[in-house]
Structure 1
Amino acid sequence: MSEKAKPSVWVFGDQLNMNIESLRGRSAEDCRVLFVESEHKILSKPWHTQRQHLIISAMSHFAAELVEAGYEVDYRRASSYQEGLRRHCEDFSVGEVVAMAPASWGGRKLLKRLGVATVPNNQFLCGEDDFAAWSQTRKNMRMEDFYRWQRKRLDVLMDGTQPEGGRWNFDAENRKPPPKDGRSWPALRRFPLDQTDHDVLQRLPNSWGSEPDGTWPVTRSQALERLEEFVAEGLPEFGAFEDAMLKDEWKLSHSCLSSSMNLGLLHPSEVIAAVENAYRNGTAPINSVEGYIRQVLGWREYVWGLYWLWMPEYLDSNFFEANQPIPPVFLGEAETEMVCVETAVRHLQETGYTHHIERLMVFGNLALTVGIEPQAMMDWMWSSFVDGAEWVMAPNVLGMALYADGGAMSSKPYASGGAYLNRMSDSCRNCAFDPKKRVGDDACPYTTLYWDFLDRHRDALSSNHRLSLQYGNLSRLSDLESIRVRASEVRDRLRKGAL
């Protein structure tokens, strides 16, 4: 094959493995590989330092692995993706460029405009077309139904035609509050930064958050080591405390594998297989194994499917017409006396990560009840978390956290007062605010805002049968006017960074 006839395979920063569809079946002799490090993309958001380093370092490491495997690699730093492709095609007289379909609507639209051929994205177990077909058979697209369908058709954690353990769902065992015994939690091995990591840090713009310390795998070998570490040390205790929050422990027994899966360093099938094998081998209990598989095979794939089903109109969702800005405390520009918020912000600053309950019930819950503008909240979370991506954050933030889609994804808003945080964290015991109080200077902002949220959106929500008890309780409150006044004060102080 002549050099001019050799096609180029364009690999993006979330497609970092040899088995992506665009490389599968190809050899080093019959293609050239293109990477584009886009200045426009890097400067498009205020990325957490660890997030921007993770993606660029992982790209750079994978490019080096391809070179070592004998591939011709053109790793380009360019002002934009379009400019990088143009210069690549000019320099190599490229006739054909192919890429695996990007994981974003905008990415696919860009490649179509640039005339780049695409092949299907094979980094999920349920492709978007399969999900769309499944959705056509459903009156309601409940995640639970999708999850069971996935397990049956892929034969995951099954005993013949029945679920392993006799139940589909072990949530009842997986909602314990944090233990009070002072136990230690599994430690993560830190991967030493190499010269590639340092070179990447040197050329990236200054940003916010703690510098990378080797927490997040940047190569497939590191990701496989993290997977093995989690299955051996984290998985056995994962289930019971997966919803718990602790001030001085940022991850508990969570796997910290989401960034590796989202970058393509790990495929969900191998993660699920390793977790299921632990159950089959007797080294992890069914509640932990089912709880984790539910997150990956169920929730992660469900979010991916919904993203493609509802895009691009979904990005404009704003059911409550919320318009408040991101509060300074979320941005690290102000301090707060709310211990749960201070804790979650500190975890995020230090690691670029918080687990799902801090995201939903600390950040998301506050954003929902305050009325933060959904698109601003989505962009902030996308840029702040190491595992962020548009397909991740659009359904999770707009749908699950903020109910901005008006209930297309969840049957009721995930609004909660301080009682939930008091039960599931250790933050309230030393907090200036009392989770049991809804009015007064020491009333928990979450509790105040919860009742105010129900009151403000009574017309939109009171007919929801899942909220009938809450609205019955609201109607019996004798201090509703004081709640409204206190809520207005809380929103104002939060906006000013003085809460």
Structure 2
Amino acid sequence: MSQETPLLLFGDQLGPHFRAAHADRPVVLIESLAALRRRPFHRQKLHLVLSGLRHLAAELGDQAAVLRGETYRKALQEFGRPVLVHEPSSHGAARLVERLRAEGLVEEILPTPAFALSRTEFAEWAGTRERFLMEDFYREQRRRFDVLMDGDEPVGGRWNFDADNREPPPSGTARLGVARPWLPDEDDVDAQVRRDLDEWGFPTVGADGPRRFAITRTEALRALRHFVSERLASFGPYEDAVLAKDWAMAHSLLSVPLNHGLLHPLEAVRAAESAHRDGGRPLAGVEGFVRQVLGWREYVWQLYWRLGPDYLDRNAFGAAEPLPGWWTALRPGQIRAACVRTALESVRDRGWVHHIQRLMVLGNHALQRGYDPRALNDWFATAFVDGTPWVMPVNVIGMSQHADGGIVATKPYLSGGAYLNKMTDHCRDCWFDPRRRRGERACPFTAGYWAWLSRHEKPLRANHRMARSLHSLRNLGDIAEVVRQEADRQVF
């Protein structure tokens, strides 16, 4: 191995942009057993982490040293040489790296190349703001990186095509009818990962299963090309729709390779932009994808650092209910509410559901039932194959649970059964009736919507975006009965 200071790469730093300035430098990869068993992660999540590290080691050959140890510290102590490291992606990992540097095990901490915008550039943009509107940030990102721009103006004359991307699922069909997503083939590396996880017996949740997500650079590029050429054209209109028997719809399934650092965000959005300019893909869908990657994803990353670790303790509505065991253990078999059952089944079987099921089914249910926001955040980070410490707080504490009091979102993402009946195909076969708010067959979301508004009416009065809902609440003559019934309601 070269005498140059080796470069330590974490499991979310697997792409070539992390090594671009270090082409000949030795690479160190660590399998920390303590980190792998720290929490009951989804079984398929652990598989992806180990598969990614080992595939990169195989690709680099003699350039890479794979260390397995109880902790990162012990592994580096046994290695016997200080290392360079890029800025890690969580507060906990950042504290660890600083301690390792103080002990002489880390020589230097380099800026991360994982995102389009650096943290320094974001700090300059944010200035003294106390509220951070994603739309402002997104437009600045488009201008800064010249994505979907015609000179100083957005392509098509509009920044936002969300209104064109909210179609309900097509009626009379169980599947969207687009090309199936690209899925990888497992190899000997995956087989050994599965054997090791079986032998180690770490506590996990969810089912073992075939690897469904790209975890090598070659796979990530294939997945990106397939999405852009075969599925992007159908992505936009049905971006918010849910079909029970079509788990992937037209979504890209690129969150795992992006979050493991196998694709650079600008690489993904440039491919989508080219598909519009050169391939005629519909602008609304392309803009929706760009918004997710260059807008929301970068925004969530920057706010994770801006808002700090104490953000996890925000709890504007005083929600304190523990997550039920059937939820955390992914045992949805007895759940009568079809939307909740289907979402949890998909988390159990794949460690993944798309954003509407996360926000408007699982998050909506958790908000209405008053689940503890921090516990919910931790569950999303461990039960989802693309869940990471930096991804979840703004998505869960801020957007989903509105526990930050409005720093991120202007109103709670709350809905009754009518929205779910429109945007999913679940309600047609569900035991509950989305139109009912009282009685045994009242939809838990419809009843829960009104009960939650009633419980929190006072703090919501200052929010002008809730005025219409609160006006309707005051006109409900049976709200006391709804609240009484909802106090004991479950989704079984």
TM-score, length of structure 2 as denominator length: 0.94
Aligned to 1:275: 272
Q: Does 1:105 align with 2:75?
A: no
Aligned to 2:10: 12
Given residue 320 of structure 1, which amino acid in structure 2 is its aligned partner? F
Cα deviation, 1:19-67, whole Å, max 9, x if unaligned, reads 21xx332233xx3221111111111111111111011101111111111
Misfit runs of 4+, over 6 Å: none
Distance 1:235 1:27 in 2: 34
Please give the root-mean-square deviation of Cα atoms over the aligned residues, in Å: 1.5
Aligned to 1:310: 307
Aligned to 1:351: 350
Moved more, 299-308 or 452-461: 452-461
State the identity %. Answer: 42
Residue 184 of structure 1 and its aligned partner are, at CA, apart by 1.9
Aligned to 1:481: 480
Q: 1:428 to 1:329 in 2, by over 3 A?
A: farther
Q: What SS class does the counterpart of residue 88 from structure 2 fall into?
A: coil
Alignment map for 1:119-198 (pairs within 5 Å): 119-136=110-127, 138=129, 140-182=131-173, 183-198=176-191
Given residue 369 of structure 2, which amino acid in structure 1 is its aligned partner? V
Distance 1:178 1:144 in 2: 27
Residue 351 of structure 1 and its aligned partner are, at CA, apart by 1.4
Q: What SS class does the counterpart of residue 362 from structure 2 fall into?
A: helix
Distance 1:196 1:442 in 2: 49
Q: 1:181 to 1:159 in 2, by over 3 A?
A: farther
Q: What SS class does the counterpart of residue 250 from structure 2 fall into?
A: coil
Given residue 391 of structure 2, which amino acid in structure 1 is its aligned partner? V
Distance 1:240 1:189 in 2: 20
Aligned partners of 1:329 and 1:336 also within 8 Å: no
Moved more, 237-246 or 6-15: 6-15
Q: What SS class does the counterpart of residue 76 from structure 1 fall into?
A: strand
Aligned to 2:467: 468
2:72 corresponds, among 71, 78, 81, to 81
Cα deviation, 1:196-222, whole Å, max 9, x if unaligned, reads 111111112363323231311121101
Residue 124 of structure 1 and its aligned partner are, at CA, apart by 0.4
Given residue 244 of structure 2, which amino acid in structure 1 is its aligned partner? K
Distance 2:286 2:127 in 1: 30
Distance 1:87 1:483 in 2: 63
Q: What SS class does the counterpart of residue 109 from structure 2 fall into?
A: strand
Aligned to 2:57: 63
Residue 80 of structure 1 and its aligned partner are, at CA, apart by 1.2
1:118 corresponds, among 102, 109, 114, to 109
Q: What SS class does the counterpart of residue 19 from structure 1 fall into?
A: helix
Residue 150 of structure 1 and its aligned partner are, at CA, apart by 0.5
Q: Does 1:379 align with 2:378?
A: yes
Given residue 372 of structure 2, which amino acid in structure 1 is its aligned partner? E
Aligned partners of 1:147 and 1:294 also within 8 Å: yes
Residue 286 of structure 1 and its aligned partner are, at CA, apart by 0.4
TM-score, length of structure 1 as denominator length: 0.93
Residue 138 of structure 1 and its aligned partner are, at CA, apart by 4.7
Q: Does 1:221 align with 2:218?
A: yes
Given residue 69 of structure 2, which amino acid in structure 1 is its aligned partner? A
Q: How many residues align?
A: 479
Q: Which runs of 5+ in 2 are unaligned?
A: none
Distance 1:433 1:181 in 2: 21
Residue 152 of structure 1 and its aligned partner are, at CA, apart by 0.7
Q: What SS class does the counterpart of residue 390 from structure 1 fall into?
A: coil
Aligned partners of 2:119 and 2:302 also within 8 Å: yes
Q: Which runs of 5+ in 1 are unaligned?
A: none
Given residue 41 of structure 2, which amino acid in structure 1 is its aligned partner? W
Cα deviation, 1:115-145, whole Å, max 9, x if unaligned, reads 1221011110112222122111656421011
Distance 1:304 1:19 in 2: 18
Distance 1:364 1:27 in 2: 43
Alignment map for 1:306-455 (pairs within 5 Å): 306-330=303-327, 331-334=329-332, 335-455=334-454
Given residue 399 of structure 1, which amino acid in structure 2 is its aligned partner? G
Residue 181 of structure 1 and its aligned partner are, at CA, apart by 4.5
Q: What SS class does the counterpart of residue 67 from structure 2 fall into?
A: strand
Residue 172 of structure 1 and its aligned partner are, at CA, apart by 1.0
Aligned partners of 1:8 and 1:32 also within 8 Å: yes
Distance 2:309 2:206 in 1: 31
Residue 266 of structure 1 and its aligned partner are, at CA, apart by 0.7
